[in-house]
Every structure is written in C-alpha cells, then in structure tokens.
C-alpha cells in the first residue's frame, strides 16, 4: 500500500507524528509495520513499549532531621495514613537507621525510601550520600518541620554536585496554622508567606541560591503547596517515570485527577491496537474481534488508578472519617474488584454504536495510523469502549473526592 493511505501528507510536523506513549524509533517501526499491512507486528511494538514501561523503576528519597515528619510525608505520598497497613513507622524519635524501602501498593515499581535523619552525630554531608547509596534515587525530598539549617543546605549542595534534583519541603504547616489561629490578627495566607520567607531566608543564609520551598501538611495532604509540589515533580521527570509517578499519586485534588485521565487517554490507542491484533477472538452478536483479557486489565487499571477499589476506598474513608458506604454511594461504575469478562463485553456492546464517532477523534489525535483503523469496526469500537469507561471512572473519582472533602466545605 502507498504511504499516503497511512500518513496524511506532510502537514504534520515530525514531533506531532510521534505517537503518544512511544519514542520516535517506535513510531517509525509502527509505520513500517502498518505500511506492510502487518497489524500483529505493530501490536508487538506496542507490547514491547509497555513492557519497557512495566520494567521502569522510580526511586524517591525522603530525608530530613529527626522529627521532621519524613515517615508521615512518605505515607501521605503513598495515599496512606500513619496507622494504615503497610505504612512507614512514625514516632517522636528517629526510627530510621538504614534506608527503608516502601513500594507503592498498586505500582510496585514506584519505590519510596525513608532515609536516616540528617543532623545526628553520625551525619556527615560529604559521606551521607555514599552511605545511603545515592545513585539509586531519581530525586531527593529534603524535609524540615521548623527552620532549614546548615545541614539541609550542605546536603542539597552535595546532591547538586552529583547532578540530581532535590526539593525543599517544610512539613507540619497545619500545626503552625493551628497555633496562630488564636491571634486576632490571624490571616492564613500571611502566615504561610511568613513561614515560606523564613525558610528561604535561612537557606539563602546557608549559601543556597534562590531556593524554592513547598509548604506541606501530611495530615491534610490536599492543601497548601502539595499540589504545586506534585506538579513540579511531574514536570521534571522523564516520560515513563512521569507517567508512573502520576498514576501512583493519591487522588486528593481535581488537577491530579484530570492529569491522570489525560495520561491514560493518550494510551488508549495502544490498548485498542493490542486488543484487536493479539489473540483476537470474535464476540457473539458483534462484528468485533478483540482480546477481552486486555480490556479487563485496562478497566481494572483505570479503577485502581482513580482509587475505585475496595482497599483504596476503605483507606480514604478512614482518613476523612466517613463510611465506605458514603463514598461508594456516589460511584456509578463497577469497582475494580467487580470487573469481569462479562463487564467488558457489556461495555463493548454499548460502545458499538459510537465507534465511528470516536474514530474521528482518533484520526485527529493520531494522524499517523488513524486513517488505517477508521473503517475497522474492531479497533474503533474497542477504542470507543475504553474512552467511555475512562470518562465514567474519572467522573466517579471526582464525585468521590467531593464527598470525601465535603466536611471541609461546610
């Protein structure tokens, strides 16, 4: 077949012709397979790309002085409370002697490390990074619960020398707000700005140039600078690790939910291609051939990423002091635990009439291969089905978030 049937002219730039979730080389391999009419070969490229993603690790190091709230912050990043099963041990004294490894419950390739406290007699900035195996971490989060000191700055400078990222986080700001509230002149924004300026001034005094400090509460992780911190981390991570970190973030803010949805939407064409080209079987009463197992796996992943599974809902209910029944009451989609082959077939049947509508969207989003599959019922219906299901799950996650935070808005 001629290339023009697959690639609509030269009106698309080279960058725009790179398929979402793939490298330039992988995109070229898919083009070559499609030009040869080899759908299985194209699906194999996607499969290998997904395997690369599944083998990617993200290692996050969290350090600070004893009592700075390292373990609580680590738990909050994992979407856990301090007393939840699998949470890092917390206490008023330093509980970490060696780097402690904590995997994310749903994304085991996201690994959080609780490092020994700085500021102890054994701490030396020039040897600390070697002691905690510096090379394995993607970035460092340096915590302080009061003011930043010389040890924080020295450690940051050592990290910078070795070419890695670090982020200053001022923890426990909810305590500061609570302590200031009794004052007649209290203003939350002014109080937060005062804390931030104090942190920056102390770091500048220790030789840091234009340091950025994020104000965070592990107990109220959706508030203060936490969303800004998460956005910054996402911006500075490379492609696969960015996607992995995003999926692992707790569902405590609308922007994170929206970013997750967009990230997963960009992967749907890959899953639809794999489903229709790998071990394809016809479905009764539908002119659709697809791998139901792939669809079930993706539907479950969507639910789990958005916290729509029994364990996540139980954990969230405990944290916001609501019943699980209250949270489940606003959910319209099936939970991850209830998704089966029958659920996927039902969703496919619903999507059958909308396939061509989504095909147009697909063509505009992915011009390289869109025209190939526009007339392919199997691909377009599967693509439509996953889009519909992701929309429903994302809306449910928004409703759960609103219900979970309802008390704060009263």
CA distances from 196 to 63, 69, 200, 233 (A): 19, 18, 6, 19
Q: What pLDDT score does 157 carry?
A: 92
Q: Is the pLDDT of residue 89 over 60?
A: yes
Q: Which residue has the higher pLDDT, 34 or 191?
A: 191
Which uninterrupted H or E stretch holds 169? Answer: strand 165-170
Q: In this structure, what token pair is assigned to residue 224?
A: 């203060």
Fold observed for domain 58-250: Rossmann fold (3.40.50)
Residue 11 buriedness (CB in 10 A; 0-12 / 13-18 / 19+):
exposed
Are 60 and 139 contacting, i.e. CB atoms less than 8 angstroms apart?
A: yes
Alpha carbon distance 209, 389 (integer Å): 47
Q: Is the pLDDT of residue 363 over 60?
A: no
Alpha carbon distance 167, 182 (integer Å): 32
pLDDT in tens, 143-182: 999 889 998 999 999 899 989 999 999 999 999 898 888 8
Alpha carbon distance 95, 85 (integer Å): 17
* Max Cα-Cα span within the chain: 77
pLDDT in tens, 18-40: 777 777 888 888 888 877 777 78
Q: Which of 5-9, 73-77, 258-262 has the lowest mean pLDDT?
A: 5-9
Q: What pLDDT score does 12 carry?
A: 32
With bands split at pLDDT 50, 70 and 90, how would you rate the model's confidence at 118?
A: confident
Q: Is the pLDDT of residue 10 over 80?
A: no
pTM, two decimal places:
0.81
Across the chain, what does the average pLDDT equal?
Answer: 82
Q: Is the pLDDT of residue 11 over 50?
A: no
CA atoms within 13 A on the CB side of 6: 17
Q: What pLDDT score does 92 carry?
A: 52
Alpha carbon distance 361, 367 (integer Å): 10
Q: Which residue has the higher pLDDT, 94 or 364?
A: 94
Q: How many residues are recorded in the chain?
A: 410
* 61-92 core/surface letters (b: 16 or more CB in 10 A; e: else): bbbbbbbbbbbbbbbbbbbbbbebeebbebee
Q: What pLDDT score does 2 carry?
A: 37
Alpha carbon distance 214, 93 (integer Å): 24
The residue-averaged pLDDT of 297-306 equals: 94
Residue 361 buriedness (CB in 10 A; 0-12 / 13-18 / 19+):
middle
With bands split at pLDDT 50, 70 and 90, how would you rate the model's confidence at 321?
A: confident
Are 191 and 177 contacting, i.e. CB atoms less than 8 angstroms apart?
A: yes
Q: Is the pLDDT of residue 282 over 80?
A: no
The residue-averaged pLDDT of 320-347 equals: 90
The residue-averaged pLDDT of 265-284 equals: 78
Q: What pLDDT score does 211 carry?
A: 92
Alpha carbon distance 80, 118 (integer Å): 24
Q: Which of 81-85, 305-309, 389-393 has the lowest mean pLDDT?
A: 81-85
Q: What pLDDT score does 345 carry?
A: 84
The residue-averaged pLDDT of 118-122 equals: 72
pLDDT in tens, 194-230: 999 999 999 999 999 989 999 999 988 888 999 999 9
Are 344 and 295 contacting, i.e. CB atoms less than 8 angstroms apart?
A: yes
Contacts 24+ apart (CB under 8 A), 102-107: 102/74, 102/78, 104/78, 104/248, 105/78, 105/311, 106/247, 106/248, 106/304, 106/305, 107/244, 107/247, 107/248
Q: Is the pLDDT of residue 7 over 60?
A: no
Q: What pLDDT score does 261 carry?
A: 94
Going from N- to C-terminal start, the domains of the chain cover: 3-54+256-409, 58-250
The residue-averaged pLDDT of 302-309 equals: 94
Q: Is the pLDDT of residue 374 over 80?
A: no
With bands split at pLDDT 50, 70 and 90, how would you rate the model's confidence at 370?
A: very low
Alpha carbon distance 73, 229 (integer Å): 12
């Amino acid at each position: 077949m001629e290339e023009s049937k697959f690639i609509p002219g030269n009106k698309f730039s080279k960058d725009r012709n790179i398929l979402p979730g793939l490298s330039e080389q992988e995109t070229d391999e898919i083009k070559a397979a499609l030009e040869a009419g080899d759908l299985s070969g194209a699906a194999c490229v996607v499969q290998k790309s997904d395997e690369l993603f599944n083998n990617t690790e993200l290692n996050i190091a969290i350090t600070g002085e004893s009592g700075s709230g390292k373990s609580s912050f680590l738990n909050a990043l994992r979407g856990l409370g301090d007393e939840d099963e699998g949470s890092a041990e917390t206490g008023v004294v330093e509980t970490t002697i060696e780097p402690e490894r904590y995997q994310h419950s749903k994304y085991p390739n996201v690994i959080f490390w609780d490092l020994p406290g700085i500021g102890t007699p054994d701490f030396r900035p020039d040897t600390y990074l070697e002691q905690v195996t510096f090379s394995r971490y993607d970035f460092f989060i340096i915590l302080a619960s009061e003011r930043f000191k010389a040890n924080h700055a020295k450690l940051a400078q050592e990290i910078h020398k070795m070419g890695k990222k670090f982020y200053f986080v001022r923890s426990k700001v909810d305590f500061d707000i609570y302590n200031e509230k009794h004052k007649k002149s209290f203003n939350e924004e002014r109080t937060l700005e005062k804390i931030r300026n104090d942190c920056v001034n102390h770091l500048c005094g220790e030789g840091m140039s234009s340091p950025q400090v994020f104000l965070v509460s592990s107990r109220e992780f959706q508030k203060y600078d936490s969303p800004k911190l998460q956005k910054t981390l996402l911006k500075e991570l490379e492609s696969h690790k960015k996607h992995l970190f995003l999926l692992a973030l707790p569902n405590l803010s609308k922007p994170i939910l929206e970013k997750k949805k967009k990230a997963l939407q960009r992967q749907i064409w890959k899953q639809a291609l794999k489903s229709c080209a790998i071990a394809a079987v016809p479905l009764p009463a539908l002119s659709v051939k697809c791998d139901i197992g792939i669809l079930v796996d993706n539907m479950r992943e969507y639910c789990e990423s958005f916290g729509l599974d029994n364990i996540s809902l139980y954990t969230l209910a405990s944290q916001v002091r609501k019943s699980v029944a209250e949270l489940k009451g606003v959910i319209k989609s099936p939970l991850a635990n209830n998704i089966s082959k029958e659920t996927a077939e039902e969703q496919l049947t619903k999507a059958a009439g909308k396939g061509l509508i989504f095909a147009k969207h697909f063509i505009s989003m992915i011009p390289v291969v869109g025209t190939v599959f526009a007339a392919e019922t199997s691909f377009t219906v599967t693509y439509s089905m996953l889009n519909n299901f992701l929309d429903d799950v994302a809306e449910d996650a928004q409703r759960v978030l609103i219900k979970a935070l309802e008390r704060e808005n009263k």
